[in-house]
């Protein structure tokens, strides 16, 4: 039994919460049922997006305030930020970059740094903005008090970062899938956000990617 179960959503019908690992598995199963309608070269990338999209729900504010997971640890900081944005801060970028390069190689696609970086941008954009809100434009284009304050607090309390990483590792502990190996708090990004760097400098919104040349190439590739 996991000590700090991370719940992704509540099941109003049965009155039970759905664990993050279960939610990811359910989403992957749904994708399997519709993937025939999606270009094959995007399948592995979409699977990665599904696995990572809700990592930000590990935050105490989501678990305790939103899901009412009262016994959850750590019990602070209770700073509310969109979980989708925070998900990106919990991904070890270098390992994902390597994974994407391996995917491209298996598909006999060019796997130079530029093409791998293009796919990485799309992946992070899909994760961060999968719950787009009207308020996001303002939130990501300038310094965000909530996001900056959260990153600053985590920076000075290393034990909280370790606990969040531990919670995710335990929740996603499936040796046959290896999901947990990609979990690592991005201290460099957090430091930048705490010092006033806008979020969009790290993760470009999807509508901007779509209109760039590399974005059109990835979306139309067969």
- As a whole number, mean pLDDT of residues 191-213 equals 83
Tell me, yes or no, whether 72 lies in a domain.
Answer: yes
Residues 6 or more apart whose CB falls under 8 angstroms from that of 30 comprise none
In-domain check, residue 1: no
Q: Is residue 215 part of a domain?
A: yes
Residue 53 lies in a domain: yes
User: Any bridge partners for residue 18, and if so which?
Assistant: 9
How far apart are alpha carbons 86 and 103 in whole angstroms?
Answer: 25
Q: Is residue 2 part of a domain?
A: no
pLDDT at residue 35 tops 90: yes
- Please indicate, yes or no, if residue 155 is contained in any of the structural domains: yes
Read off the pLDDT of each residue in 88-107 and give the average, rounded to a whole number: 94
Is the pLDDT score of 219 beyond 90?
no
Please check whether residue 84 lies inside any domain of the structure.
yes
* Residues whose CB falls within 8 Å of the CB of residue 79, separated by 6 or more in sequence, listed in order: 61, 146, 149, 150, 153
Distance in angstroms (rounded) separating the CA atoms of residues 52 and 109: 24
What range does the domain containing 158 cover? 7-220
What's the number of domains the chain is made of?
1
pLDDT digits (tens, 9 = 90+) for 10-20: 876 666 899 99
Query: Average of pLDDT values for 118-125?
Result: 93
Q: Which residues pair with 16 in a beta bridge?
A: 11
Planar angle of CA 180, 184, 190, nearest 5 degrees: 150
């Amino acid at each position: 039994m996991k000590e700090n179960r991370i719940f992704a959503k509540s099941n109003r019908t049965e009155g039970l919460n759905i664990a993050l690992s279960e939610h990811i598995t359910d989403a992957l199963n749904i994708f399997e049922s519709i993937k025939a309608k999606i270009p094959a070269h995007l399948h592995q990338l979409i699977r990665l997006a599904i696995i990572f999209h809700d990592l930000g729900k590990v935050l105490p504010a989501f678990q305790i305030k939103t899901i009412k997971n009262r016994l959850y640890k750590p019990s602070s900081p209770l700073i509310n930020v969109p979980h989708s944005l925070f998900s990106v801060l919990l991904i070890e970028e270098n390992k994902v970059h390597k994974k994407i390069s391996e995917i491209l190689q298996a598909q006999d696609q060019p796997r130079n740094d530029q093409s791998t970086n293009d796919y990485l941008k799309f992946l992070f954009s899909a994760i961060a903005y999968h719950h787009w809100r009207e308020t996001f434009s303002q939130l990501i284009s300038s310094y965000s008090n909530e996001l900056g304050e959260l990153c600053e607090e985590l920076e000075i309390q290393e034990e909280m970062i370790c606990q969040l990483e531990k919670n995710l590792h335990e929740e996603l502990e499936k040796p046959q899938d290896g999901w947990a190996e990609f979990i690592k708090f991005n201290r460099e990004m957090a430091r930048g956000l705490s010092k006033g760097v806008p979020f969009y400098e790290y993760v470009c919104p999807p509508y901007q990617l779509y209109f760039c040349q590399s974005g059109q190439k990835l979306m139309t590739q067969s």
